[in-house]
Amino acid sequence: MPKQKTHKGLSKRVKVTATGKILRHRAGGGHLMSGKNAKRRRHIKSPATIAGKAAAAIRIQLAKGRV
């Protein structure tokens, strides 16, 4: 069988850490930042992790193997 190809659109949006966790960007940081308080802006800046079945599906799409 041929190799599994990496999903290029997904690989630009998520990152797999050395321990296998999947990081994504938080929504809401594109514009209109003046209406958001400082705590919310700091929270939006930090990456979020994806866990569970969603993470397993993403690993398969990124050709990083099964869980």
Residue 15 in this model has a pLDDT that exceeds 90:
yes
The rounded distance, in Å, linking the Cα atoms of 58 and 54 is 6
| Assessment of whether the complete model's pTM goes beyond 0.75 | yes
For each of the domains in the chain, give its residue range(s) and CATH number, in order of start: 8-61 (4.10.410.60)
Residue 2, pLDDT above cutoff 70:
yes
pLDDT in tens, 16-51: 999 999 999 999 999 999 999 999 999 999 999 999
Residue 59: CA count within 13 A, CB half-sphere: 18
Chain centroid offset of residue 10 CA: 8
